[in-house]
Chain A
């Protein structure tokens, strides 16, 4: 199965003498072409969830299966490789490398995997054009607006053709017009390229672009039926 699957995943943190259950028996399947959102108050375990989905943390219990592969038994080196090949991260703004221009932000990802071919360069350009950055290819991050920066980050997430896209508060520092644009773009690219995408956010205005919305509370993940209804009706 492609996409990502959580099978009864739990995460325990040791904090001094207390144990904190950050994720409590989370099960979830996101198929290819599906864009889901995870919302919840801070401290609810959203970030832990994202870190485990992104192969940055390993679960204490349960299993995460990414594109048919279990993440449980991998060592840090394999995890880095997996992040490079299978996962596209869209992080909060200004997480671009400050001294690389827009095109190079994408090429550096290709560099991590080996050589940059002419084809890679063309792909990167096309991707950036798709996201409306055709005239900004040679700009450095500090010459871009917040929205442009985030669009660059989206392009960077897609450049390696990963199987899953993970977005961590992608609209955190954007005004609502830009925020809508950005989430719309993520949704559009996810559909067009047939990826599984998970967005962690607390911005409830943006949920209309998602196929399903899950709510996280005290480490437990629940499908939020009300949002599903809304999306269906808005579609219908």
Chain B
């Protein structure tokens, strides 16, 4: 630590430069992780929030709500299966809504209309207003982001391309589905919207898109065998099946992986060059008795200090950035994720110094004597 600190103080400019690079990398890593987190929330928050463990789809739908259609009565049968403590149908459809009073088209808003059974475990708690009621088909609860679009408690909504109307009686928070704010309604109401066209329900009675199940030890294989033409997957698989979810996450993860790899090499090369430059000095220190351990520790300590400070600065900058990002930006920092990426960056930078440490162990103290005949 002694050598490391003294040298950091002495070579301010060169360490400042590498510090700035590390700060920028850390900053970008955190922003990307925030964006990734924000996007996946936007894409599948409703799925992620719901208190279910397994989801049953129609066979061949590859865990996608939009490709799956089942009879609601299946829920009751599934509920009787081993380890299933509760099962209920759910339907989803995308739609465009506008206020009944609206005249201009620009007040249209895209939403996800989700059909559920009022009062069961799929219904999120309202933060304002009242929950759904089975015998009030007109009433819906909506995600609170709609407020920013000008919708209010008690507003009546028209659904474009349909004669159906809805009235907002409650607001929920953090409920987005397929990147859109969610509106929860009863299954019956949802069906009248989704299957307005004759034959679109493929003749299935009381259709739903999927059946959500509670029960942590559900044996999906068994259910697949027992219930023909169904496939049961974990909730996280169902989340992966959300349109665009995998692609978005994959892109962000790839960028993160590249960033981390780049930072490993940038730091590694930087410290390696510094070590090469100082090999004579290290040789002298070795000649006067410094062990490999002593010098290795000095290098690792230096990398650690530099990365630690840079990462902390990066975190501060990221939270600063979060403040000035526009509202609509899907950016949400998860503190746990920030800590994980910080540790990852720290580990990576320390790994990057390994090559320098190796170099130091190979320096021959004999070169201190100089011109050996």
Chain A residues engaging chain B, CB cutoff 8 angstroms: 22, 42-48, 50-51, 54, 56-57, 77, 80-85, 87, 89, 91-92, 95, 97-100, 104, 107-109, 111-113, 140, 156-157, 160, 168
Q: Residue among B2, B369, B372 with the most chain A CB within 10 A?
A: B369
Known A81-B291, A99-B9; judge A54-B281 contact (CB<8 A): no
Pair B288/A97 contact, Cβ less than 8 Å: no
B289 within 8 A of A: yes
> Within the complex, what minimum Cβ distance (angstroms) separates B332 from chain A?
44
Known A56-B365, A57-B366, A80-B286; judge A112-B294 contact (CB<8 A): yes
Known A99-B10, A108-B3; judge A80-B366 contact (CB<8 A): no
A77, A84, A91, A100: the one contacting B284 at CB < 8 Å is A91
B contact residues, total (Cβ < 8 Å):
26
Pair A109/B289 contact, Cβ less than 8 Å: yes
B327 within 8 A of A: no
Q: What separation, in Å, do the CA atoms of A57 and B287 have in the docked complex?
A: 11
B373 within 8 A of A: yes
Q: What separation, in Å, do the CA atoms of A156 and B285 have in the docked complex?
A: 11
Pair B11/A109 contact, Cβ less than 8 Å: no
Q: Residue among A45, A80, A82, A83 with the most chain B CB within 10 A?
A: A80
B6, B7, B294, B368: the one contacting A95 at CB < 8 Å is B368
> Within the complex, what minimum Cβ distance (angstroms) separates B285 from chain A?
7
Q: What separation, in Å, do the CA atoms of A82 and B365 have in the docked complex?
A: 13
Pair B9/A51 contact, Cβ less than 8 Å: no
Chosen A-B contacts, 28 in total, with CB atoms closer than 8 Å, are: A43-B373, A47-B372, A48-B373, A51-B369, A54-B369, A56-B287, A56-B366, A80-B291, A80-B365, A82-B289, A85-B289, A89-B368, A91-B287, A91-B368, A97-B285, A99-B9, A99-B10, A100-B6, A104-B6, A108-B285, A109-B289, A111-B2, A112-B285, A112-B288, A112-B289, A112-B291, A156-B288, A160-B289
The 8 closest A-B pairs by CB, nearest first: A84-B289, A99-B10, A83-B289, A43-B373, A80-B291, A56-B366, A47-B372, A99-B7
Known contacts A99-B11, A112-B288, then 14 further A-B pairs from the complex at CB < 8 Å, ordered by chain A residue: A42-B371, A42-B373, A51-B369, A54-B287, A56-B365, A83-B288, A91-B284, A97-B285, A98-B281, A104-B6, A111-B294, A112-B289, A112-B291, A160-B289
Pair A108/B2 contact, Cβ less than 8 Å: yes
Quick one: CB contact mask for B1-24 with A, threshold 8 Å, 1 for yes? 011001101110000000000000
Pair B289/A91 contact, Cβ less than 8 Å: no
B150 within 8 A of A: no
> Within the complex, what minimum Cβ distance (angstroms) separates B297 from chain A?
10
User: Which residues of chain A have C-beta atoms less than 8 A from B11's C-beta?
Assistant: 99
Q: What separation, in Å, do the CA atoms of A48 and B36 have in the docked complex?
A: 62
Q: What separation, in Å, do the CA atoms of A109 and B370 have in the docked complex?
A: 21
Q: What separation, in Å, do the CA atoms of A203 and B372 have in the docked complex?
A: 18
> Within the complex, what minimum Cβ distance (angstroms) separates A155 from chain B?
12
Chain B residues engaging chain A, CB cutoff 8 angstroms: 2-3, 6-7, 9-11, 281, 284-292, 294, 365-366, 368-373
Q: What separation, in Å, do the CA atoms of A85 and B289 have in the docked complex?
A: 8
> Within the complex, what minimum Cβ distance (angstroms) separates B116 from chain A?
67
Pair A47/B289 contact, Cβ less than 8 Å: no
User: Which residues of chain A have C-beta atoms less than 8 A from B294's C-beta?
Assistant: 111-112
User: Which residues of chain A have C-beta atoms less than 8 A from B370's C-beta?
Assistant: 47, 91-92, 168
Q: What separation, in Å, do the CA atoms of A22 and B371 have in the docked complex?
A: 13
User: Which residues of chain A have C-beta atoms less than 8 A from B365's C-beta?
Assistant: 56, 80, 83
User: Which residues of chain B have C-beta atoms less than 8 A from A97's C-beta?
Assistant: 3, 281, 284-285
> Within the complex, what minimum Cβ distance (angstroms) separates B282 from chain A?
10
> Within the complex, what minimum Cβ distance (angstroms) separates B212 from chain A?
63
Pair A91/B3 contact, Cβ less than 8 Å: no
User: Which residues of chain B have C-beta atoms less than 8 A from A56's C-beta?
Assistant: 287, 365-366, 368-369
Q: What separation, in Å, do the CA atoms of A22 and B6 have in the docked complex?
A: 40
A50, A51, A87: the one contacting B289 at CB < 8 Å is A87
Q: What separation, in Å, do the CA atoms of A98 and B288 have in the docked complex?
A: 16
Pair B366/A45 contact, Cβ less than 8 Å: no
> Within the complex, what minimum Cβ distance (angstroms) separates A95 from chain B?
5
> Within the complex, what minimum Cβ distance (angstroms) separates A131 from chain B?
17
Q: What separation, in Å, do the CA atoms of A94 and B288 have in the docked complex?
A: 14
Q: What separation, in Å, do the CA atoms of A100 and B11 have in the docked complex?
A: 11
Chain A: which residue is nearest B370 at the CB level?
A: A92
User: Which residues of chain A have C-beta atoms less than 8 A from B289's C-beta?
Assistant: 80-85, 87, 109, 112-113, 160
> Within the complex, what minimum Cβ distance (angstroms) separates A2 from chain B?
19
User: Which residues of chain A have C-beta atoms less than 8 A from B9's C-beta?
Assistant: 99
> Within the complex, what minimum Cβ distance (angstroms) separates B9 from chain A?
7
Q: What separation, in Å, do the CA atoms of A54 and B366 have in the docked complex?
A: 9
User: Which residues of chain B have C-beta atoms less than 8 A from A46's C-beta?
Assistant: 373
User: Which residues of chain A have C-beta atoms less than 8 A from B2's C-beta?
Assistant: 107-108, 111
Q: Residue among B7, B281, B288, B291 with the most chain A CB within 10 A?
A: B288
Q: What separation, in Å, do the CA atoms of A42 and B287 have in the docked complex?
A: 22
User: Which residues of chain B have C-beta atoms less than 8 A from A107's C-beta?
Assistant: 2
Pair B372/A48 contact, Cβ less than 8 Å: yes
Chain B: which residue is nearest A97 at the CB level?
A: B281
Chain A: which residue is nearest B361 at the CB level?
A: A76
> Within the complex, what minimum Cβ distance (angstroms) separates B288 from chain A?
5
Chain A: which residue is nearest B373 at the CB level?
A: A43
User: Which residues of chain B have C-beta atoms less than 8 A from A50's C-beta?
Assistant: 369
Pair B288/A51 contact, Cβ less than 8 Å: no
User: Which residues of chain B have C-beta atoms less than 8 A from A89's C-beta?
Assistant: 287-288, 368
